[in-house]
Amino acid sequence: MGRYSQIEYETDGRLAYVTLNRPEKLNALTNTLRAEVMDAMREAEHDDQVGVIILRANGRSFSAGYDLSQARAEGNSELAGRSGLPDTGTTHPGDNQWARSVVMTNWIIWELAKPVVAQIQGHCLAGGTELATVCDFRIVAEDAQIGYPPVRAMTTMDMMWTPWFMSPAKAREFAYLGDSISGTDMVTAGWANYAVPKEELGNFTETFARRMAHIDNEMLMYSKRAVNRQYETMGIREALHSGTEIQALSSARSAASEWRTRVQEKGLKAALEWRDGPFRDFRGAYASAPKDRPVAGME
Q: What is the mean pLDDT of residues 55-82?
A: 84
The predicted model gives 260-271 an average pLDDT of 94
* Band (274; pLDDT cuts 50, 70, 90): very high
Within the chain, residue ranges assigned H as helices are 31-46, 98-111, 127-133, 162-165, 168-177, 183-189, 201-212, 217-234, 236-251, 256-266, 268-276
| Reported confidence tier of residue 71, pLDDT bands at 50, 70, 90 | low
For residue 1, the model assigns a pLDDT of 46
- Residue-level pLDDT at 116: 98
Give the torsion sign (CA, 236, 164, 127, 27). negative
Topology of domain 7-250 in CATH is 2-enoyl-CoA Hydratase; Chain A, domain 1 (3.90.226)
Q: pLDDT tens digits for 143-161?
A: 999 999 999 999 999 999 9
Question: Whole-angstrom Cα distance, residue 170 to residue 177?
Answer: 10
Say yes or no to pLDDT of 84 above 90. Answer: no
pTM of the predicted model as reported, rounded to 2 decimal places = 0.94
